C-alpha cells in the first residue's frame, strides 16, 4: 500500500505540478545541499549461501534472514556515542540542477540468519573430524549454533550514490509537501559476525560486493529548511566475497533482494559564496 501511494504521488508531481516553479525554487534549486539522519526497517528474500575453505565447500539453499531492531531508548537512538547502534540511514546531497539531486549515503541495515531452521545442503565437509563431516546431496541440515551462526549485524552497510528528482505536490505558507524518486548504486562493506563449525567467531569489516536500488519518498518541509521524510527503498545485493573466519581462504557468497522502510529527519541549506569584486 505504501508503495502504491508513493508511486501515485510521484506521477501526480510529474504531470500536475511541473509547470509551477515558484513554489519549490527556494528548496530544490541548483546549489542547495541537504542532509538527513533516520532509521529503517528492512526485509530480505531467501538466499542460497555458499561457504568454501581448504577442507569444505557447500551450499545452503533458501536461507531465511530478518533484520534486528534495537529496543527504543533515547540514550541509544539520540546519544552521539550510541546512535549508530540501531539500523540507521545517513545521506548528504547536492542539487546539481533544479529538481535533480546527487547524493551519497549509508544504509545501515542488519541481516540475521534465522537459527534452527532446516534447509537443504549440497557439497562436502572434511573439517578435522567434526560431526558435520561428509558428502551432502540435497540433504537436510539444521542451522544449529554448533554448525553456523551468520549475521551482518554491525551492519550490512550498503554505501551508495543516488540520483533523485524532487517535485512539489502542494505548498501552504511555511509547509511544503513534495515527492522524490531515484536510482542508486553502491558497495557493501559488512561487518559479518560468523561462527562456522569449529572455527572461532569472526567479526571484521570487509568489502564484500555491490548493490543497486530504487527509492520513492514523501517529504514534508517546514520553514524552508527542515524536513521529515518517509521512504520506501528496494534493491538487489550481491556479495561474492564475504569473510567468515580468521583464515583468508575461508569465504562465503550470496545474493538477495531487500526492501527498506525509512523515516528520516533533515535540513536543506546553502553555502554562501563571496562575490569577487569587479575591477
Could you tell me which residue, 275 or 183, shows the higher pLDDT?
Answer: 183
Q: At residue 13, does pLDDT exceed 50? A: no
CA–CA distance, 99 with 167 (Å, rounded to integer): 7
252, 49 Cβ separation under 8 angstroms: yes
For residue 155, is it within any domain? yes
Strand residues in the chain grouped as ranges (E): 33-44, 47-53, 56-63, 65-66, 88-97, 100-108, 111-113, 118-125, 134-142, 148-152, 158-172, 175-188, 191-196, 202-205, 209-222, 226-243, 251-269
Contact 267, 55 (CB under 8 A): no
**Which pLDDT value is given to residue 209?**
97
- To which residue does cell 578435522 refer? 128
52 located within any domain: no
20 pLDDT higher than 50: no
Q: Report yes or no on 29 lying in a domain.
A: yes
Q: Indicate if the pLDDT at residue 33 is higher than 90.
A: yes
pLDDT band of residue 27 (cuts 50, 70, 90) is confident
- Of 87, 94, 100, nearest to 233 by C-alpha is 87
Range of weakest confidence among 79-88, 133-142, 188-197: 79-88
Residue with cell 533533515: 266
Per-residue pLDDT at 5: 46
The CATH number of the domain holding residue 12 is 2.40.160.20
* 274: pLDDT strictly greater than 70: no
Report pLDDT for 41. Answer: 97
CA distance 149 to 143: 8
Residue 17, pLDDT score: 40
Q: Are 255 and 236 in contact (CB under 8 A)?
A: yes
Q: Rounded to whole angstroms, how far apart are CA atoms 238 and 256?
A: 7
Per-residue pLDDT tens digits for 253-262: 999 999 999 9
d(CA 99, CA 31): 11
In the numeric block, which cell numbers belong to residue 187?
A: 558497495
Within a domain: 180? yes
Which structural domain range is residue 84 located in?
2-45+64-107+148-269
Predicted confidence at residue 78, as pLDDT, reads 85
Phi/psi-derived region of residue 61, left when phi > 0, alpha when psi is between -120 and 50, beta in every other case: beta
- The residues near 75 (Cβ < 8 Å, ≥ 6 apart) are 82
Task: List, for residues 39-71, the tens digit of each pLDDT value.
Answer: 999 999 999 999 999 999 999 999 999 999 998
Contact call for residues 160 and 148 (beta carbons, < 8 A) = no
Q: How many Å apart are CA 187 and CA 241, to the nearest integer?
A: 12
Asked whether residue 13 is assigned to any structural domain, the reply reads yes
- Number of separate domains in the chain: 1
What is the reported pLDDT for 72?
85
pLDDT at 24: 44
**The C-alpha cell that represents 47 in the structure block:** 538466499
Instruction: Indicate the SS3 state at residue 7.
Output: helix
Q: If you average pLDDT over residues 176-190, what whole number do you get?
A: 97
Structural domain contains residue 27: yes
216 part of a folded domain: yes
Q: What is the pLDDT of residues 196-255, one digit of tens each?
A: 998 899 999 999 999 999 999 999 999 889 999 999 999 999 999 999 999 999 999 999
For residue 155, what pLDDT is reported? Answer: 93
Residue 258 lies in a domain: yes
C-alpha dihedral, 104 to 156 to 51 to 202, nearest 10°: 120
pLDDT confidence of residue 256: 98
Percent of the chain residues topping a pLDDT of 70:
88
Question: pLDDT tens digits, residue range 94-139?
Answer: 999 999 999 999 999 999 999 999 999 999 999 767 889 999 999 9
Amino acid at each position: 500500500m505504501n508503495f502504491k501511494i508513493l508511486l501515485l504521488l510521484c506521477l501526480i508531481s510529474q504531470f500536475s505540478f511541473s509547470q509551477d516553479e515558484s513554489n519549490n525554487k527556494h528548496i530544490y534549486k541548483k546549489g542547495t545541499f541537504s542532509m538527513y539522519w533516520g532509521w529503517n526497517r528492512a526485509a530480505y528474500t531467501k538466499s542460497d549461501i555458499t561457504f568454501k575453505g581448504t577442507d569444505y565447500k557447500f551450499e545452503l539453499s533458501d536461507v531465511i534472514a530478518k533484520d534486528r531492531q534495537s529496543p527504543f531508548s533515547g540514550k541509544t537512538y539520540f546519544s552521539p556515542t550510541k546512535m549508530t547502534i540501531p539500523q540507521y540511514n545517513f545521506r548528504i546531497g547536492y542539487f546539481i540542477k533544479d529538481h535533480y539531486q546527487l547524493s551519497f549515503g549509508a544504509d545501515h541495515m542488519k541481516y540475521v540468519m534465522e537459527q534452527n531452521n532446516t534447509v537443504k545442503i549440497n557439497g562436502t565437509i572434511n573439517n578435522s573430524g567434526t560431526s558435520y563431516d561428509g558428502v551432502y546431496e540435497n540433504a537436510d541440515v539444521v542451522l544449529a549454533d554448533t554448525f553456523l551462526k551468520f549475521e551482518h549485524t554491525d551492519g550490512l552497510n550498503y554505501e551508495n550514490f543516488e540520483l533523485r528528482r524532487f517535485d512539489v505536490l502542494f505548498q501552504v505558507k511555511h509547509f511544503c509537501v513534495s515527492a522524490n524518486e531515484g536510482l542508486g548504486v553502491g558497495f557493501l562493506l559488512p561487518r559479518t559476525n560468523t561462527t562456522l563449525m569449529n572455527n572461532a567467531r569472526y567479526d571484521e569489516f570487509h568489502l564484500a560486493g555491490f548493490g543497486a536500488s530504487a527509492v520513492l519518498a514523501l517529504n514534508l518541509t517546514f520553514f524552508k529548511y527542515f524536513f521529515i521524510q518517509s521512504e520506501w527503498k528496494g534493491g538487489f545485493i550481491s556479495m561474492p566475497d564475504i569473510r567468515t573466519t580468521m583464515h583468508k581462504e575461508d569465504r562465503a557468497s550470496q545474493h538477495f533482494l531487500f526492501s527498506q522502510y525509512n523515516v528520516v529527519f533533515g535540513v536543506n541549506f546553502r553555502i554562501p559564496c563571496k562575490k569577487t569584486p569587479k575591477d
